[in-house]
Amino acid sequence: MASDLRAVVAAIKNVADVERMGALALHVAKVVRRRHPAHALPEDVNGYFAEMGRIAVEIGDTTKSVVLERDPHQAAQLRHDDDAMDDLHRHLFTVLMDREWTHDVPSAVDVTLLGRYYERFADHAVEIARRVIYQATGATEIPD
C-alpha cells in the first residue's frame, strides 16, 4: 500500500517537473525567436550553449528512459549530467564578468537567462530521477 502511494505522489510531482522542463525549453525558443533574424547569442559563447543544448537533450532522453524503465542506476547517472550543466552555467558567469566582455547589456541578459533555463531544466530532471530512485529502492540516493 505504501509503495502504491509513493508511486502516485511521485507521478504527480513528476508531471509538474516535466511540465516545467517543457516551459523552460519554450523560454529558450522564445528568446531565439525574439532575436530573429539576428543571432540570439554572441559568437564567443556559442560553444558553451551548444554543449548545454547537447547535455539538455541527453538529460531529456535519459529522464524519459528512467521514468519508463524505473532504473535507479540510470537515474543516479543524471546527477553527473547535471553536474556538467552546473559547471557550464558557472563558467558563463566567468565569461560575463571578464573585462574582455565587449557585448551589450541585452546580450548579457540573454546569456544569463538562457544559461539559467538550461541549468533549471537539468535540475528538474534530477528531481525526477531522485523520485525514481526512491520508488525503486526506498532510499533517497544510490551511493557513487
User: What pLDDT does residue 89 have?
Assistant: 96
**Residue 111 belongs to a domain:** yes
pLDDT tens digits for range 34-83: 988 988 899 999 999 999 999 999 999 999 999 999 999 999 999 888 99
Between 96 and 140, name the one with better pLDDT.
96
d(CA 95, CA 34): 23
pLDDT tens digits for range 5-24: 888 888 999 999 999 999 99
User: What pLDDT does residue 136 have?
Assistant: 84
CA dihedral 48, 53, 59, 64 (to 10 degrees): 180
Report how many domains make up the chain.
Answer: 1
CA dihedral 90, 83, 61, 125 (to 10 degrees): -90
Give the mean pLDDT of 24-38: 93
CATH number at residue 33: 1.20.58.220
d(CA 40, CA 80): 28
Q: Is 4 exposed, middle or buried (0-12, 13-18, 19+ CB in 10 A)?
A: exposed
User: What pLDDT does residue 23 have?
Assistant: 97
User: What pLDDT does residue 29 have?
Assistant: 95
**Residue 142 belongs to a domain:** no
